[in-house]
Each structure stands twice: as structure tokens, then as C-alpha cells.
A and B are shown apart, each in its own frame.
Chain A
């Protein structure tokens, strides 16, 4: 019987979830559970932890996240174009080439800005 491949993927995901949940549920039966305040302290190489565990850190790398979003979209469009590259006449690729040409300098400049920030 030929199943729709997406249904097969759902079946595969369900099988994996069941098996992994079984692996997670086994320790509930087989291992001891005694919450101990000394053992449950967050690990800091032996010393008493100080400060909140999720401190606010100045993270200078977040422009890369922004760039990732934009490059992600560009890459997806390029995939849509790349499949049919051999099947289209060359002038059908012109809008995509123009797309790249228009987007590349600003993206390159954004990359340059991110790389040369004086913070790091």
C-alpha cells in the first residue's frame, strides 16, 4: 500500500517519540529520586553559586542573528530558483540575478559592519 510520504513521516515521528519517552520513563521506575538541596545546586566547580543563573549578558553578536534571518530568506529563494536552472532559458534567470545583485552590496556591507564593530 502506497502511503502518502507525509503520513509516513508522522508515523516515524510517533515511533521515535514513543521510544524516547520510554527511555525517559524508565528511570522513573528504576532510579532513585530524592531531591537533595545540596545535590541540586547548580554546578560551579565546587563553590557556592552566586547570582542569578540566567544573568543578563551583554551579547555583542546579535547582529549575526539578524543577518541570519535575511540570509535564510535569500537562500530559500535561491533554492527555488536553482532547481529549475537547467530547465529555464537563461533570460528567466535575469530577475533572480538582479535580485542577487541588488541585495548583495547591502548584505555585504552589513556583514562588514558586523565584523568590524569595535566592541570585540
Chain B
């Protein structure tokens, strides 16, 4: 019996590696990262876990055939916003952060797991019932990178302009806030 083919995937009855394996790994990284970002005792660890979950999302963008967006995600989110978060955490007094350790309520984790299990059962039940009538997996629209610019400029000029105004407003607002506290 031939399970694995060289250059192809391994075909086991339920899942076929590698696309599903990639999805599972990416999803695990993202979800565990975000859970740890919420639950970490040290704020810095939380920020690092947040960066990890952002990288997981960037991995999803690569998986969905949008590598430019993935690089944009890493450069902007992990490269700039996480830096801002880290910088802010480091400049806050220790006393303000030490009181944030609130103990989880009794059974909080159990309720969460139970709800997640309910949702999983519901989705797989619907999928199993629909059976062969499930629509085919939608193929992500493949946009070559050289088409990204023209598409953006020609089909979405108004969002571009609004984006320019929004970013300028956000930046000037942040500077005004910074000036106010002096």
C-alpha cells in the first residue's frame, strides 16, 4: 500500500498533508499566541505573544496566496505597532501594572472549553449532514503583485483618498495629544 508519494502529499483517510497540516499549525500558532497575550502575567510576555499571533496571521496570508499582504502585515503590525506597545509598556510605572493580576473565576476555563466544544460539534454536525452537497473550496483569487497597484488606484481611488486623510488626522491628533500633556 502506498501512503506517501515523493513530491506529493501523504494521503491518510481523514486529512491530507500538507495543506491541512499547514492550516492547523498556523491556526494553533495564532490562537495560542492570542490566548497567551491575554493571559500572560508579565505584560511584556503578552506583547511578545501578540507579535507571535500577528506572525501567524501573516502566515495565513501567505497560505492564501497574498504574500505582499503578509509582508505588509509583518512590517507594519509586528515591526511598528508591537514596538509601540512594547515601548509604552516599558515606560509605565511598575505599580500600575502589578495590580492587574486578577484571579480567574472558578470554572472560567471550563465554561470556555465547553462553549468551544459546542461550536465545534455544531459546525462538524452541519458539515457532516450537508455531506456531498458542500460547495467546493473557494479558490483564493490570485492577484499578481504587479496588478495590485493598478487595481488599488483604478478601482478604489476614493478609499485611497479617505485613507490619506484618515492617517493625517490620526497622526496630527496623536501629536496634539502629546503636546497637550506638556
Instruction: Name A's B-contacting residues (CB within 8 A).
Output: 1, 6, 52, 54, 56-57, 59, 62-63, 65-70, 72-74, 76-77, 80-85, 87-88, 92-96, 98-100, 102-103, 105-107, 109-110, 113-114, 117, 119
- Interface locus among B108-116, B129-137, B144-152: B144-152
Subset of 15 A-B contacts with CB under 8 Å = A59-B91, A65-B80, A76-B72, A77-B152, A81-B149, A85-B149, A88-B150, A88-B153, A95-B154, A99-B160, A99-B163, A102-B161, A103-B165, A103-B167, A113-B179
Q: Are A106 and B75 in contact (CB under 8 A)?
A: no
- Of the candidates B92, B145, B178, the one whose C-beta lies within 8 Å of that of A63 is B178
Q: How far is the CA of A6 from the CA of B72 in the complex (A)?
A: 16
Chain B residues in 8 Å Cβ range of A70: 167, 170-171
Q: How far is the CA of A94 from the CA of B180 in the complex (A)?
A: 37
Chain B interface size, under 10 / 10 to 19 / 20 to 34 / 35 or more: 35 or more
Q: Are A92 and B154 in contact (CB under 8 A)?
A: yes
Q: Are A66 and B92 in contact (CB under 8 A)?
A: no
